[in-house]
């Protein structure tokens, strides 16, 4: 039996990712454990209250999920066991008879952002209200025929609630990347993620780490800066490379990287499972 | 008379930044124009309904303000006239008699994030509810003695509401950087901001632009990636350099930059006004 922690409640996209992970591993023997925040799901895995957690790291519209990156950097020694890329198709769920009856739309801030053009055109007068997840607002709908939520089709079905429009996301190729994390060491896989700080006040300080990868002919598939929180203008960099931690090239780059960065953290190597609809994703930098 | 657009309502940190800008320019002859979102404040300036807008771009805890960067890239030809860095000190505002009476805390998601440790320790049972601004929740307080908001001291004073704790932000050096934007061309200043896309699937594609700045001995004070929204794994890069657009070094770098980037956009040159409390901010990359 494996216990999988994720951002709940029942019906979220994170739950769908958790189930995809279990199915991929061909295990029927798993327990889903929803938590109220990403941080709590990660902490449960650090504390061995769950075997793995499945958390969102990046969306193709909203960008990085800051809570995931910050929590991983600060608190945990978890490693990435797998990356999952899943399509996100939002539905407008409501018990209203017609769109013009809707006065308020509840959803997670990222989901509201991903549908902002549709909302501006179809519900220009509705008040948009941010809540903790895409499914939390579903409970208000049976009592409030002037309310709607932005949720997945699956969540609407689970709660037997009517879908008024689908899909309503502004960009059709809306995909989210999830990480499966556990305390197990992960050294083999097509991709490796690391993070580091830099010595301050040096022109070109970021250049050196990037040069090390280019010299080893290692492609970088992602770079993201996050504030160190000490002072404005100090950053951490989260980098994903297209190489296994076990490869001699990566080992050579990481050894040199240690001398030109401050506090280097490695989150391990992993393979990518990518849904068909998200296959256009490619390398940029 | 200059009309200044910003994220309202009355009492927000953006309003404080708008007033700081007016004071700095020694003008008593200004009109504050609050908008419901950052995007609307920017659009009003594009449409000449306001002369300038003052918008947050980065916080030392929460990081980039995605809405500002995305709107600037997509829609507008505004230039940065000035950068303002102001301290952010949050207060817990409530009509409750004691902390233990508080059941719900309203605020903007960034403010909730900036006080999360204080909230976990002092109000572990309270429900945290995200709303559109730090001041919108103040109207609920007179009627709800079990509710609180996280707002500025100034907002509490404006609404004649009691402050129960201050400051409650987890990191004392919490600062936010604002940009003052207008359609006026801006070529002189200590800093310059640009943004660009990159040709895909080339190892080291990001390396070339960074090398161009290092070669000209230009320091980079900020780099931020944002999704292109076309497909997961494609990014735009927002870069701030410590040089004026008018300098020969910047001109040389930008000319070469054009040949190794896709769609290069320049947001102009500007000086930095920095509050004393934020002066530790420094250059990293």
Closest partner CB to A232 (pick from B227, B230, B278): B278
Choice among A85-99, A226-240, B127-141, B270-284 with the minimum mean pLDDT: B270-284
Q: Quick one: average pLDDT of B211-228?
A: 86
d(CA B248, CA B94): 55
Pick from B199, B203, B34: which is nearest to A215 by CA?
B203
Q: Are B2 and B27 in contact (CB under 8 A)?
A: yes
d(CA A65, CA A17): 15
* Whole-number pLDDT of residue B125: 85
Pick from A265, A262, A71: which is nearest to B284 by CA?
A262
B94-133 burial string, b = 16+ CB within 10 Å, else e? bbbeeeeebebbbbbebbbbbbbebbeebbeebebbbbbb
d(CA B104, CA B24): 38
- Note whether A227 contacts B59, CB cutoff 8 Å: yes
3-state secondary structure of A53: strand
Closest partner CB to B207 (pick from A205, A210, A226): A210
B61 pLDDT above the threshold of 50: yes
From B121's Cα to the closest Cα of chain A, the distance in A is 15
Tens of pLDDT, residue by residue over A103-125, are 999 998 788 888 988 998 899 88
* Whole-number pLDDT of residue A285: 34
Tens of pLDDT, residue by residue over B3-56, are 999 998 888 999 999 999 998 887 789 999 999 888 889 999 999 999 999 999
ipTM confidence score: 0.74
Res. B283 pLDDT band, cuts 50 70 90: very low
- Note whether A63 contacts B204, CB cutoff 8 Å: no
Question: What's the pTM?
Answer: 0.82
* Whole-number pLDDT of residue A280: 56
Closest partner CB to A281 (pick from B232, B284, B285): B232
Res. B275 pLDDT band, cuts 50 70 90: confident
B278 pLDDT above the threshold of 90: no
- Note whether B201 contacts A282, CB cutoff 8 Å: yes
Cβ-Cβ contacts under 8 Å, A129 against chain B: 131
- Note whether A207 contacts B205, CB cutoff 8 Å: no
How many residues are recorded in chain B?
285
* Whole-number pLDDT of residue A222: 84
Q: Mutate one of A58, A190, A191, A203 to test the B interface: name it (highest B CB count within 10 A).
A: A203
Closest partner CB to B281 (pick from A61, A223, A232): A232
Q: Quick one: average pLDDT of B220-230?
A: 82
Q: Are A267 and A193 in contact (CB under 8 A)?
A: yes
d(CA B169, CA B87): 11
B123 pLDDT above the threshold of 60: yes
d(CA B150, CA B105): 7
Res. B203 pLDDT band, cuts 50 70 90: low
Choice among B68-82, B114-128, B196-210 with the minimum mean pLDDT: B196-210
Res. B127 pLDDT band, cuts 50 70 90: confident
| pLDDT digit string (tens) for chain A, length 285 residues | 999 999 988 889 999 999 999 988 877 899 999 998 888 899 999 999 999 999 999 887 778 888 899 899 987 789 999 999 999 999 999 999 999 999 999 998 788 888 988 998 899 888 888 777 899 899 999 999 999 999 999 999 999 999 999 999 988 888 999 999 999 999 999 999 999 998 765 667 888 888 899 889 898 888 888 888 777 777 889 999 999 999 999 999 999 998 889 889 999 999 998 888 777 544 333
Closest partner CB to A200 (pick from B85, B109, B284): B284
Residues 6+ apart with CB under 8 A from A26: none
Cβ-Cβ contacts under 8 Å, A203 against chain B: 213-214, 217-220
Pick from B190, B114, B39: which is nearest to A113 by CA?
B39
- Note whether A206 contacts B205, CB cutoff 8 Å: no
* Whole-number pLDDT of residue B282: 40
Q: Which of residues 168-227 of A touch B (CB under 8 A)?
A: 171, 173, 175-177, 198, 200-201, 203-207, 210-211, 213-214, 217-227
More confident residue, B207 or B232: B207
B104 touches chain A (CB under 8 A): no
Pick from B92, B40, B79: which is nearest to B187 by CA?
B79
Q: Which of residues 41-100 of A touch B (CB under 8 A)?
A: 58-63, 66-67, 85
Tens of pLDDT, residue by residue over B144-188, are 999 999 999 999 999 999 999 999 998 888 889 999 999 999 999
Q: Are B122 and B167 in contact (CB under 8 A)?
A: no
């Amino acid at each position: 039996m494996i216990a999988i922690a994720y951002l709940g409640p029942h019906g979220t996209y994170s739950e769908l990712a958790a189930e995809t992970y279990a199915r991929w591993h061909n295990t029927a023997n798993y327990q889903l454990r929803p938590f109220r925040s990403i941080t709590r799901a990660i902490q449960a895995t650090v504390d061995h209250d769950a075997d793995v957690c499945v958390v969102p790291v990046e969306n193709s519209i909203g960008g990085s999920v800051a809570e995931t990156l910050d929590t991983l950097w600060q608190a945990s020694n978890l490693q990435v066991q797998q990356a999952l890329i899943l399509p996100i198709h939002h539905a407008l769920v409501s018990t209203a008879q017609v769109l013009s009856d809707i006065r308020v739309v509840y959803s997670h801030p990222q989901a509201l952002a991903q549908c902002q053009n549709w909302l501006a055109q179809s519900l220009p007068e509705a008040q948009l209200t941010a809540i903790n997840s895409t499914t939390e607002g579903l409970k208000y709908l049976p009592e409030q025929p002037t309310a709607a939520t932005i949720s997945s089709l699956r969540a609407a079905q689970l709660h037997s609630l009517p879908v008024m429009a689908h899909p309503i996301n502004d960009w059709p190729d809306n995909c989210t990347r999830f990480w499966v994390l556990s305390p197990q060491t992960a050294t083999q896989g097509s991709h490796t993620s690391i993070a580091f700080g830099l010595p301050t006040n040096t022109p070109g300080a970021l250049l050196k780490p990037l040069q090390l990868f280019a010299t080893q002919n290692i492609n970088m598939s992602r770079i993201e800066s996050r504030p160190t929180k000490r002072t404005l203008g100090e950053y951490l960099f989260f980098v994903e490379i297209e190489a296994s931690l076990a490869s001699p090239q990566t080992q050579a780059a990481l050894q040199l990287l240690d001398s030109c960065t401050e506090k280097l953290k490695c989150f391990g190597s992993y393979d990518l499972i990518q849904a068909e609809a998200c296959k256009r994703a490619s390398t940029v930098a």
